[in-house]
Structure 1
Amino acid sequence: MDPNLIGILGFLGMLGLIVLGVPIAFSMLATACIGLFAVGGPNHAETQIAITFTDVGANFVMVAVPLYFMMGQLVQRTDIAYDLYECVYRWLGRLPGGLAISSVVACAGFGAVSGGSVTAVATMGPMCIPAMRRYKYDDSLATGCISAAGTLGILIPPSIILIGYGILTETSIGALFIAGIIPGVLMTIGYSATIAIRCAMNPELGPVGEKFSLEEKVRSLNKVLPIFLTFIVVIGGIYGGIFTPTEAAGVGVFCLLAIAFVMRRLDWPNLKLSFLKSMQTSGMIFVIICGGHMMGKFVVQTELTEGLIKWMEVQDFSAFTIMLGLSLLYIALGMVLDVWGMLILTIPFTFPIILGLNYSPVWYGVYAVIMSELALITPPVGINVYVMAKMAPDVPLTKIFKGVAPFFIFTLILVALITVFPEIVMWLPESAGMS
């Protein structure tokens, strides 16, 4: 049978499994195994399966995954996130929509040491929502800003999603981490500006918070110093070439454990639960990455991507048209898939195309993560929105989705900017000699 036909049938079969509710990791594994069997026979398929699981399991970078998850668990279970929000609130609470802006900045700070999105929403929501309701903030703004700001956790380093992308594409994890800093900062500023402008135009959306003295503001900095120093040690160490991203993860966990014990905020049950949750999630990520690797091999051996590239060359599509189509594809996939699903499903097909357009694999990693962020707030899936709905059950889902709309639009604007000006993403890694 023609390899291209096998590839097309395999892709359609995988989509069918996903529609039937089979987890995407197992859908890709099943498709790849059957497809490789059809291409090269049983021995070939068996060999590729063994090589894939062995290579991914032996990859030193995989050690970083449970460690970064552990960092997020420690921040969540030691009230460090609460200290962060309190500090930001004291400095920014008097701005129009100050409590909502504080929530955005606090989510960004949480992401800087956790690498997760849903965790950020689940951690910051119970702290931020009651405070905003106390000042009679609009429910749509209050729930929408936290749902959207939670996505910053998978862009601002350390990011678990960027690690997964780096393993799949063999791209430098350190370069990806450094490349995510400027877009992450721009997104934080953009989200905050969106809130400030809306609340300045309509003060009833988000009244200003209480006033604090300079002494109270300065004193609040003491509580966030540990989390700030942890971020500087982890990211600064990577940027300065002192240690690798995997080593940085170990250093980060050590720092947070030391802080938690010194501040007496961590007991044995919570420490045990942190380890357990980290390992459970890491096991899931391992299977997902193996599925992506297997699917990548299937795509290569059936020459599916090569055929797609040749077709696009015949059609003479411009780089702008291809990137526009890819962005629309990500938005459409975001309506039915989660972040990992989108990333694992698209990378085997799109990565060779992006390289053919002379974009950097580091740039594409940041682009893909930003587009995947939209899946977290896009109906009908929108995982962040559903997590928020559990914490604010009296707020209709439609109202929360309405609240994330302005942030969705700003994210698309940022995507356009980094596509036209890729230097926004590449300047830091290039200055560090990482790209």
Structure 2
Amino acid sequence: MTLVEIGYFAMAAMLALILLGVPIGWAMGLVSLAGEIYLTGFTPAAAKLSLTFWENGSLYVFIALPLFLLMGQLAYRTGITEDLFDCFHKWLGHMPGGLAVASVVSNAAYGAVTGNSVASVATMGPMVMPQFRKYGYNLSLATGTLASAGTLAVLVPPSTLMVIYGVWTETSIADLFIAGIVPCVVLTITYCVALAIACQIKPGLGPKGPKYSWGARIRSLSRLAPTVAIIGIVLGGIYGGLMTPSESAAVGVFGVLAIAAAMRRLTWGAISKSLKDAVRTSGMVFVIVVTGVTFSRFLMHTHVTENAIAVINGWGLGSTTLMLALFVLYFLLGAALDALGMMILTLPFVMPLIIHLGVDKVWFGIFLGVMMELAAVSPPVGITVAVMRSVAPDVSTSAIFRGCYPFLALTILLAALLIAWPQLALWMPAQMR
């Protein structure tokens, strides 16, 4: 076999392993290692693998990932998320669908602390579902709202997936963070407006909640202070030029610890559980990222990447046509893979095309983030739907997906808007520069 044929055979073998249930990180690692051994022998292959682990494991910017994960876990374990929802519930709960609207805004705000969609759903779900039941909300709408709103964490800084994309593609993480703000705000507002209109037309979907006094509302604003302080520390440090993303993540962790201690909510149990969860998630992500880089280098060794670029160039696709084709590709992959796996699996092929056509890497990172939001609520996998199913076991998976479909349509519209108007994502980074 030629080198290119070996490369395509390795791709088929990797996909076969994934379909058999092998985790994507291990599938990429095993195939790339076996391929390198076949081509160069055991010793050079082992040397390449160890060098890849060292290069990526020692990247200074990669420190931001476990620290942002730890920051989110500490915020959850110390009850800061409950304060968020309590405040937004008091201000928005009396509207048609107000409880659902409050949960969307709370998820967006919590995403600015944790940066992880699964963590957002796992945290907000158990807290908000009893309220949905109490006020007689349609359970399909309720679970679909929580599963979909959790995906907002993909775009809002400090998104962990944006950190991974930035490290993998050597793109400014600060630019990615700021570029995600406008699309996230647009999507959050769109979700809220759609919920309010739907519940106004059909009050049975989401009845109005209690109306709190102005005094109670104003007092509840003080409970937003910890979250506002944390976001201000992280983003203010980055965009004020005072800290790198990694440094801001470390300061953010210290800030959460200091705030929780001042509020007398910090316990050794909360610290221990937060550390364990952050280490577990970081280890999983590290394996996927490093094996993804290893697999990418193997494809370059076999000239598969060059071959794919040559073939696609022969089609004469422009950048817009390519983006539409990638939209279809990612939408289909989202039905079978989780967001992280989808990103790492495709970047070795897609990034050379993106760079070749002159597409802005920051813009593409945001576009990819929107597609990962779609993947998180697309059947049959739908990772946030699976988490929501564990939170509300009495609600069927099909009912949760039905509740997600309106949000899925709105997210598709945002993806189309990004393709038609790239400045939606690029305007803020340009202003910051």
Q: CA deviation at 1:317?
A: 2.4
- What is the TM-score normalised by the length of structure 1? 0.97
Which residue of structure 2 aligns with residue 290 of structure 1? 290
Which residue of structure 2 aligns with residue 328 of structure 1? 328
Which residue of structure 1 aligns with residue 57 of structure 2? 57
Partners of 2:67 and 2:191 in 1: CA distance: 29
Q: CA deviation at 1:193?
A: 1.4
Which residue of structure 2 aligns with residue 258 of structure 1? 258
Which residue of structure 1 aligns with residue 85 of structure 2? 85
Map Cα deviations across residues 394-424 of structure 1 (whole Å, 9 max, x no partner).
1111111000000001001000111111111
Q: CA deviation at 1:313?
A: 1.9
Partners of 2:319 and 2:163 in 1: CA distance: 27
Partners of 2:176 and 2:222 in 1: CA distance: 30
- C-alpha contact 1:6 1:38 (8 A) present in aligned 2: no
The alignment status of 1:6 with 2:3, answered yes or no, reads no
- C-alpha contact 2:97 2:208 (8 A) present in aligned 1: yes
Specify the SS of the correspondent of 2:94.
Answer: coil
Which residue of structure 2 aligns with residue 349 of structure 1? 349
- C-alpha contact 1:157 1:180 (8 A) present in aligned 2: yes
Which residue of structure 1 aligns with residue 196 of structure 2? 196
Q: CA deviation at 1:33?
A: 1.4
* Mapping 1:200-215, distance limit 5 Å: 200-215=200-215
Which residue of structure 2 aligns with residue 46 of structure 1? 46
Q: CA deviation at 1:74?
A: 0.9
Which residue of structure 2 aligns with residue 185 of structure 1? 185
Map Cα deviations across residues 351-384 of structure 1 (whole Å, 9 max, x no partner).
1111222211111111112101222111111111
Which residue of structure 2 aligns with residue 145 of structure 1? 145
Partners of 2:348 and 2:132 in 1: CA distance: 43
Which residue identity is paired with 1:82?
Answer: E
Which residue identity is paired with 1:95?
Answer: M
Which residue of structure 2 aligns with residue 405 of structure 1? 405
- What is the TM-score normalised by the length of structure 2? 0.97
Which residue of structure 2 aligns with residue 243 of structure 1? 243
Partners of 1:153 and 1:301 in 2: CA distance: 36
Which residue of structure 2 aligns with residue 226 of structure 1? 226
Q: CA deviation at 1:316?
A: 1.7
Q: Which moved more, 1:1-10 or 1:52-61?
A: 1-10
Which residue of structure 1 aligns with residue 277 of structure 2? 277
Q: CA deviation at 1:320?
A: 3.0
Which residue of structure 2 aligns with residue 133 of structure 1? 133
| RMSD (CA atoms) | 1.2
Which residue identity is paired with 1:244?
Answer: T
Specify the SS of the correspondent of 2:412.
Answer: helix
Partners of 1:283 and 1:14 in 2: CA distance: 21
Q: CA deviation at 1:121?
A: 0.7
Which residue identity is paired with 2:309?
Answer: I
Which residue identity is paired with 2:396?
Answer: P
Q: CA deviation at 1:5?
A: 0.8
Gaps of at least 5 residues in structure 2 are: none
Map Cα deviations across residues 114-162 of structure 1 (whole Å, 9 max, x no partner).
0111111111112211112211111111110000000111221101111
Partners of 2:147 and 2:387 in 1: CA distance: 8
Which residue identity is paired with 2:76?
Answer: Q
Specify the SS of the correspondent of 2:63.
Answer: helix
The alignment status of 1:394 with 2:402, answered yes or no, reads no
Which residue identity is paired with 1:371?
Answer: M
Which residue of structure 2 aligns with residue 101 of structure 1? 101
The alignment status of 1:158 with 2:158, answered yes or no, reads yes
Partners of 2:368 and 2:295 in 1: CA distance: 18
Which residue of structure 2 aligns with residue 73 of structure 1? 73
- C-alpha contact 2:144 2:404 (8 A) present in aligned 1: yes
Q: CA deviation at 1:330?
A: 0.9
Specify the SS of the correspondent of 1:156.
Answer: coil
- C-alpha contact 2:319 2:359 (8 A) present in aligned 1: no
Which residue of structure 2 aligns with residue 31 of structure 1? 31
Q: CA deviation at 1:209?
A: 1.2
Map Cα deviations across residues 298-352 of structure 1 (whole Å, 9 max, x no partner).
1222221221121122222233332222111111111111111101101111011
Q: Which moved more, 1:36-45 or 1:7-16?
A: 36-45
Specify the SS of the correspondent of 2:21.
Answer: coil
- C-alpha contact 1:179 1:362 (8 A) present in aligned 2: yes
Specify the SS of the correspondent of 1:204.
Answer: coil
- C-alpha contact 2:121 2:387 (8 A) present in aligned 1: yes
Partners of 2:247 and 2:222 in 1: CA distance: 27
Partners of 1:326 and 1:418 in 2: CA distance: 13
Gaps of at least 5 residues in structure 1 are: none
Q: CA deviation at 1:44?
A: 3.3
Q: CA deviation at 1:42?
A: 3.5
Partners of 1:405 and 1:371 in 2: CA distance: 15
Q: CA deviation at 1:43?
A: 4.0
Partners of 2:333 and 2:190 in 1: CA distance: 25
- C-alpha contact 2:154 2:372 (8 A) present in aligned 1: no
- C-alpha contact 1:39 1:302 (8 A) present in aligned 2: no
Partners of 2:237 and 2:9 in 1: CA distance: 47
* Mapping 1:409-420, distance limit 5 Å: 409-420=409-420
Which residue identity is paired with 1:346?
Answer: T
Partners of 2:287 and 2:368 in 1: CA distance: 20
Which residue identity is paired with 1:232?
Answer: G
Specify the SS of the correspondent of 2:282.
Answer: helix
- Report sequence identity in percent: 45
- C-alpha contact 1:33 1:49 (8 A) present in aligned 2: yes
